[in-house]
Amino acid sequence: MSAGSELRHDDPAAQPLEDREEGLRVCHANPERGLGVETLVARRAGEVIHRFTGDIGPELLLHTLQVGPDAHISNTRFIGFLLHSCAPNCRLDMATFELVALEDVRAGGLLTIDYAATEDRLYRQFACHCGAPHCRRWITGRAEPVNAEGREWLALGEASWGEGS
C-alpha cells in the first residue's frame, strides 16, 4: 500500500487516482471527454469489477450517481468518473452496489456505462462522441426531455450529416 501516500481523496485536482489492488485508475481519457476510469487488468464479461461505497443524499451533483428515487451517491472513488457510452462495456447494479463488466475488457481499456441506465436526470446534458453505431448523440437522463441546446445540436448534426470521421 505504499502507493497510498500518493492518493489524495480530499483534492479532486490531484487525480489520477490509482488503486492497484482494485486494478482501477482514474485517468485523463482525452481532452474532450475529461476524466475516465481505466482497468489495469483484463476483465471478463460478467465479472464484478468493483464494489462501491459513498455518501447517499438527495443532491444531484456532477459526479453523483442515482441509486434510487431522489437518492444520489457521492464521494465514490471510481464510479463517479466513469465515462458514458451508448454501447457501454459495464453496468452499475444499484441494488448490490457493484460495477459489472458487460463484455471482455482488455487491460488499459476504458470502462464505460450508459448514464441513462441509472440517472433520471443528468447534472448536465451533453453531446456524445462515443462512436457507437447507435450513438444517441445527445445524452439526457431517462426521465427528462432533450433540452434546447440538445435540440439545436441534434438539428445541426442532421444538417452536417456525412461529414465523415
Note the residues at the interface with Zn ion (CB under 5 A).
86, 128, 130, 135
Residue 30 cell numbers, joined: 482525452
Give min distance, CB of 122 to Zn ion, in A: 13
Neighbours of 114 (CB within 10 A): 21
| Amino acid at position 40, single letter | L
**Rounded least distance, CB 154 to Zn ion, Å:** 12
Q: Which is nearer to Zn ion, 101 or 128 (CB)?
A: 128
Least distance between Zn ion and beta carbon 37 (Å):
17
The phi-psi region of residue 108 (left if phi > 0; otherwise alpha if psi is between -120 and 50; otherwise beta) is left
Q: What are phi and psi of 6, to 5 degrees?
A: -85, -15
Nearer to Zn ion, 86 or 105 (CB): 86
Nearer to Zn ion, 116 or 135 (CB): 135
CB of 132 to Zn ion, least distance (A): 5
Specify the residue, 86 or 111, whose C-beta has the smaller distance to Zn ion: 86
CB 101 within 8 A of CB 49: yes
